[in-house]
Amino acid sequence: MKTTVTTSVGGKQITIETGRLAKQADGAALVTCGNNMVLVTAVSSRKTSELDFFPLTVEYIEKFYATGKIPGGYFKREGKPTNDAILTARLIDRPIRPSFPEGYRHETQVVGTVLSADGAFPLEILASLGASAALHVSDIPFNGPTAAVQVGRVDGQFVANPTPQQMEKSDMDIIVAGTRNGLLMVEGETKFISEADCLAALKFGHQSMMPLLNAQDELREKTGSKAKRPFVAPVIDADFKGKAEALLQPKIAAALSLKIKQDRYAAVAAAQAEADATLLAGITDKDLAKQRKKELSAIVEELKYHEARSMILDKKVRIDGRDVRTVRPIANEVGLLPRAHGSGLFTRGETQCLGTVTLGTGDDEQMIDALLGTQKRKFMMHYNFPPYSVGEVGRFGGQGRREIGHGNLAERALKAVLPDHEKFPYTIRVVSEVLESNGSSSMGTVCAGILAMLDAGVPLKGNVAGIAMGLIKEGDRVAVLSDILGDEDHLGDMDFKVAGTPQGITALQMDIKIDSVSFEVMDQALAQAKEGRAHILNEMEKVMKVARGQISEFAPRIETIKIKPEKIREVIGSGGKVIRGITEATGVKIEIEDDGTIHIASADPEATKKAIAIINDIIAEAEVGKTYKGRVVKIAEFGAFIEILPNTQGLLHISEIANERVRAVTDVLSEGETIDVKVLEVDRAGRIKLSRKALLQ
């Protein structure tokens, strides 16, 4: 039976419907705002998975019929998800994942399908709302509801779920998601805002999502509040657990005191192997032995969790011996690679990122066949995380969702300081190769990217550094950690990444794994992040603070000239014949904009000069009193037509050919001959009157 609820956020009406579409799914919600519709379904298997983690997958599918378009390419059907679709799937996943019960191991799939879109409302907000609503009305165990809101700020006023027109004027684009108790996720980019403004935006976003949470509760009530499936987290036999903990606890504590990551991991593995050998030796039942082996892994993880947290809260000492505020040692280098246009190596503790920059022309822009139209991108940030960076063996091929998400965060952090395209008309590609990883390679990528761009001579508006903050919270005891390790991310309650310049924040990302974190704790984390960010940036600027004065010899030089828009046709020529001829003659790349701006790119300065000279000749206009070397193109009884400039002819009247009287033009001139002529007059119609006689006197 169809059930509908309606609410509004930021003055826009949102409707959630269930019971009409996709009825065989465990839960389904159709979320509508204006012409925008997203259907989200949720299905969870009745069987427990053998995996030792929660197997949740979230898919976000963009259907081109939603905008009345046929997909491009040969196949004419939707292909693999775009980066934007993958990022949206991550935005849906992150707030719902911690809302499932601890220990839930049933394979679960959430699928969001865009059915209609007009670009006037953020679809990711509807999809996130639909995912929570589908789970909330279903019988799947879910501690919801959750909701998400996009926050912008226009003319000093916060706006919830702004329109694209409002976003153009906004100095922030932040998506916040959470429950009634607090925030679970933050993702956004900002234009150098202060920590206080950031906190105010998060509070506004949390308050704005309340109507969406109320609407979901109302929908669940209207559908009859379907009982949730009974779920009890598996319990390990108390006797076995006691023996295992007695054996493992001192060994895990000793392992966590080792400061080098690989030594620490080896000591934990050795302790687990010893426990396997000691505690599983007498078990003859294969199924029981398999179960106990799995339980031992869970006990090791639990001991690591409690031991690391108590070290920080009780002794104020972290796994690697630091206090809560200290940033690991930093080392920086630039100019490592001879052929890349810029390179920078950033090392922070056991995290190392190699940033590279390649400068290109307009031909190198990325074209994306997106749901709401073709997009062009002049800046690309690509992040690669090979398995060797964490000492593992793994498969290569394509980028995972995590790599796309981390690259997007770094791109948002760097985008704010890029030079205006008019002043630096290059396509810029930054690539980060994570060579070592132990905590926040995405923020290491930001730092390596800045060093590489400075090395490449990109005139940045400011230098950005990034830091990852963590949190350990047990009751009233709270520790905010600066520059977290990978283990502290895994064992902690929050991962809060902040990037920015000394002037303000440019990007932030937060994931919270517990029920809620107070805004006071977030305030402390932001203040501590600012302090750590300043330290990291200071270390970077010791190596390079301002961009090199010139770009690499291997990068294309782009010269920009301006012509009258009405002259563009002459430069391009019929069917592109003229511009093709210039390119073939000089080897340059030429890009022409509608306003008459022409970018000429070449690694050879002489080729660029030659191309500019040809273009200037094409667009040149005849000047009265100036002498030109012209070619006789046509002879008539009354005179000759002389081409004095490309596509520009003037009339040399028979009376202006010589001092003496000329009986026939052909007595003096012949077609194809080159002669010097002077411009006497250009009339209002653009007709040019020439003289040869004036030069003979």
pLDDT digits (tens, 9 = 90+) for 309-357: 888 888 888 888 889 999 999 999 999 999 999 999 999 999 999 999 9
Residue 491 has a pLDDT of 85
CA separation for the pair 411, 375 (Å, rounded): 16
Residue 75 has a pLDDT of 86
Give whichever of 12-21, 313-322, 669-678, 679-688 has the largest mean pLDDT. Answer: 12-21
Give whichever of 242-246, 289-293, 653-657 has the largest mean pLDDT. Answer: 653-657
Answer whether residue 264 shows pLDDT above 80. Answer: yes
Answer whether residue 78 shows pLDDT above 80. Answer: yes
Mean pLDDT of 489-512: 92
Nearest CA to 87 out of 197, 175, 192, 202 is that of 175
The region of weakest confidence among 97-111, 117-131, 266-280 is: 266-280
The CATH number that domain 330-470+518-543 falls under is: 3.30.230.70
Mean pLDDT of 601-612: 86
Nearest CA to 135 out of 146, 151, 149 is that of 146
Q: Is 300 exposed, middle or buried (0-12, 13-18, 19+ CB in 10 A)?
A: buried
| Pairing outcome for strands 56-62 and 106-116 | parallel
| Percent above pLDDT 90 for the chain | 53
- Specify the domain boundaries for CATH 1.10.10.400 within the chain: 238-315
- Specify the domain boundaries for CATH 3.30.230.70 within the chain: 3-222, 330-470+518-543
Answer whether residue 603 shows pLDDT above 90. Answer: no
Give whichever of 73-87, 167-181, 224-238 has the largest mean pLDDT. Answer: 167-181
Answer whether residue 15 shows pLDDT above 80. Answer: yes
Answer whether residue 258 shows pLDDT above 90. Answer: no
Question: Left if phi > 0, otherwise alpha if psi is -120 to 50, otherwise beta: which for 160?
Answer: beta
Angle, CA of 279, 249 and 244, to the nearest 5°: 20
Angle, CA of 592, 594 and 599, to the nearest 5°: 25
- Fold adopted by 557-619: Ribosomal Protein S8; Chain: A, domain 1 (3.30.1370)
Its CATH class, for the domain covering 238-315, is mainly alpha
Asked if 179 and 514 count as a contact pair (C-beta separation under 8 A), the reply is: no
pLDDT grade, residue 126 (50/70/90)?
Answer: very high
Reported as half-sphere exposure (CB side, CA atoms, 13 A), residue 462 has a value of 19
Residue 667 has a pLDDT of 85
| Pairing outcome for strands 373-377 and 56-62 | unpaired
The region of weakest confidence among 194-208, 428-442, 562-576 is: 562-576
Residue 58 has a pLDDT of 97
Ordered DSSP codes for 464-502: -EEEEEEEEEETTEEEEEES--HHHHHHSSEEEEEEEET
Residue 475 has a pLDDT of 83
CA separation for the pair 414, 635 (Å, rounded): 63
Q: Calculate the average pLDDT of the chain.
A: 90
pLDDT grade, residue 292 (50/70/90)?
Answer: confident
CA separation for the pair 697, 692 (Å, rounded): 9
Q: For domain 627-696, give its CATH number from 1.10.10.60, 2.40.50.140, 3.40.50.12280, 3.40.190.10.
A: 2.40.50.140
- Specify the domain boundaries for CATH 3.30.1370.10 within the chain: 557-619
Residue 22 has a pLDDT of 95
pLDDT digits (tens, 9 = 90+) for 370-382: 777 778 899 999 9
Mean pLDDT of 528-545: 95
- Fold adopted by 3-222: Ribosomal Protein S5; domain 2 (3.30.230)
Answer whether residue 528 shows pLDDT above 90. Answer: yes
pLDDT grade, residue 262 (50/70/90)?
Answer: confident
Answer whether residue 683 shows pLDDT above 80. Answer: yes
Give whichever of 155-164, 237-246, 482-491, 643-652 has the largest mean pLDDT. Answer: 155-164
- Specify the domain boundaries for CATH 2.40.50.140 within the chain: 627-696
Residue 369 has a pLDDT of 79
pLDDT grade, residue 466 (50/70/90)?
Answer: very high
Answer whether residue 295 shows pLDDT above 90. Answer: no
